[in-house]
Amino acid sequence: MLPLGTPSPDFSLPNIDGKVVSLADFRDAPALLVMFICNHCPFVKHIADELAKLGSDYQAKGAAVVAINSNDVENYPDDSPAKMKEEAQTRGYTFPYLYDETQEVAKAYHAACTPDFFVFNADGKLAYRGQLDASRPENGVPVTGEDLRAALDAVLSSGSAPEPQTPSIGCNIKWKAGNAPEYFG
């Protein structure tokens, strides 16, 4: 996992609207949530409505929110940029949904699964990397976003997030053949 306190890795990626979105676009935000998601993963589908709500809620509080899809779209066509645009419209995502074709941004963040969440404070330092909440497909626990919401609230108020932090669980990022990072295994 990316160590707490690590500066936010840089990115500059195309959004579903065709515009390029960069880390620098969020430099004045008191908190930045970077989510690695995709369209086809059952773990993401399970929480997608909460992601839309959480994104809207925290953008209204001044936090910057961005989602990144790093999956291999050749082998997972449901995650293609055209399908990402459809998904964002269907779900009501109000945040940028970026496509990481080279998968280099996922590697820089040490993202391992979808969903994977990273919260950075106003200084651009990693304060939280963990789960949305304890809900999983078919475990019967309601989707509330409580862990990620608590982390965002804490970062917005104090710049740090609560411990312990439970790692996110989901589908592995779908790496292109021969492109899986060393930390993946």
Domain tally, the chain = 1
In a domain, 1, yes or no: no
In a domain, 103, yes or no: yes
Domain of 161, in residue numbers = 12-172
**DSSP code string of the chain:** -PPTTPBPPP-EEEBTTS-EEEGGGGTT-SEEEEEE--SS-HHHHHHHHHHHHHHHHHHHTT-EEEEEE-S-TTT-GGGSHHHHHHHHHHHT--S-EEE-TTSHHHHHHT--EESEEEEEETTSBEEEEE-S-S--TTS------HHHHHHHHHHHHHS---S--PPP--EEP-PPTT---TT--
Give this prediction's pTM.
Answer: 0.97
In a domain, 6, yes or no: no
In a domain, 78, yes or no: yes
Q: pLDDT tens across 51-98, in order?
A: 999 999 999 999 999 999 999 999 999 999 999 999 999 999 999 999
In a domain, 48, yes or no: yes
In a domain, 4, yes or no: no
